[in-house]
Structure 1
Amino acid sequence: MPSREYAKLTTPSPLSATRSQPPGAVRTIAVTGGKGGVGKTNVSANMAVALAGMGKRTLLLDADLGLANIDVILGLQPKFTLADLVAGRCTLEQVIIEGPNGVLVVPAASGRRHMAELAPAEHVGLVNVFSELERELDVMVVDTAAGITDGVLTFCQAAQDTVVVVCDEPASITDAYALIKVLSRERGIDRIQVVANMVRDQNEGRVLYEKLSRVCEKFLADVSLNYLGCVPQDDWLRLSVQRQQPVVKAYPSSPAALAINEIARRTARWQAPTEPRGGVEFFLERILRQRGVVV
């Protein structure tokens, strides 16, 4: 039987109208990729750990609901996951565990097909759960699934910033473009941050970004792309994955760690949200507004 906390979320609520106003709002960043294998989870996890290491109160959400692996990458052993929340076995607060640098982690479950097949209303329900989380946070990093499923689109739409991770393979570039097109045309997202991953050097990263940018400029004139940076191919990163440790902690002087720290510094400098509301600023309000619902 679904928990009271989760069950109420598939029904529209007054949102934050009755909650107190905190001094600041939470910046939410969705990290995604057009296809699997581009390294988006490594980017998500290490960026969140890096932000926490910079003093940012950071929450990392594993939103790859059917094939989750954030907990594996960070060497964590969660007692509960989002699957337990949906099944009513725990509350959201009980799902949250602490990871490296004090980053808060919300793990999902791996190999649970029913989680990968949640209905659209249930995806909105999960977003609503996080909008009501009572935590003092600065940043929320959301590691989405790959592809263009409803869950990916909903989490990207709910976030303030979407980061698309791409690598220098034709399929990756093609799928990244397809994802950006769907995000723009179906969800109204017109600003995308791009991270070039597993490149040989900074020049290759910039060239990869320009390939994707040219295609978008030609066919998606209303979408603005921004180059957030690149992460080099690095054996230290591969070793950190094998050891189930974030590379920014295990090998902080490695090329990959230095690159991800720089990407985290850039995101930390983004202008803070201008409209603070209660709980986590995860913008269920934005979804409802774009569907014509007054909140």
Structure 2
Amino acid sequence: MFFVVDQDKEVSPQHLARVWEHLWAMRDLAPVRAMLPTAVSSPCPLLPSEATNAVLVAELMPVPGESAWAPVEVDLSRFLDAKGHLRLAPLGAVLRAAVDKGEQWHDAAAWGSAAQRTDSLVNRRLSIFIRGWGDVVAASQGDPASLATLRKLQQLARHIVAVLTERSRALAGRNGHCSAYEVAGAQVHKHGSEMNERWRRAVDSTALRHRNLLTLSPWDVFPREQAADYRYINLLPVLACANSVSFRRDVDICHWNVKEFKGFFERVDAILRCSSETRLIAKQV
């Protein structure tokens, strides 16, 4: 059971307070989970974001209805050395292999409906779920309240996006880009030959094999081997790099209170909204 908390709905403060009290009381009653309305985006600026109206249950991830996803999970803590440093070379190899695995998944999957089969052919969606962000910070003894720590984590996230995008672009060069570009370009064609040529050049230089790549969970900014330290919410802006958002939680929050629980979701909501608005600024074709 999923409760989607839409902050845009007009309800009285008293009613909203009761909603949060109930969600807090049910926080650990599986399969009850609180979520936020989200969009799924593409690392390629030529493809627009999409609203979500369904949930991929295994990932606890809001998705567009009847969409087809290939899920692959990568745990950053596996790549920490004895000194708490992240080994980027083996991580990069695993990330590239994750893209390849997702590509093979789409080729072999038996989707449950014709709509999902079509979505798989058109979008080749990947959910490469990167876990363990808080574990990386804890292993390096970083201060989660420090802006420098956040910047290092954002730099790591951008590196991961670059590796995934590079591999997806390489597969597009070999197997062809996903046909979502033809769907997106349909509106361009009626604007004349010059615009069509500019669109073609933009697709040739930026097109990917997969419409979506990176999945993150806001709960993964906390180290998993300890109770959730509220200071780690300062690392939530790393979510801006995600193309899709999971609400899976593996950390203990029983020592929080309803105000902190609500504040966490409000912070996540603000970051996701800001990220979505930023993506509305389309790349000039």
Question: TM-score, normalised on structure 2?
Answer: 0.32
Q: Which has the higher helix share?
A: 2
Higher RCO (C-alpha under 8 Å, 6+ residues apart): 1
Structure index of larger Rg = 2
Question: TM-score, normalised on structure 1?
Answer: 0.31
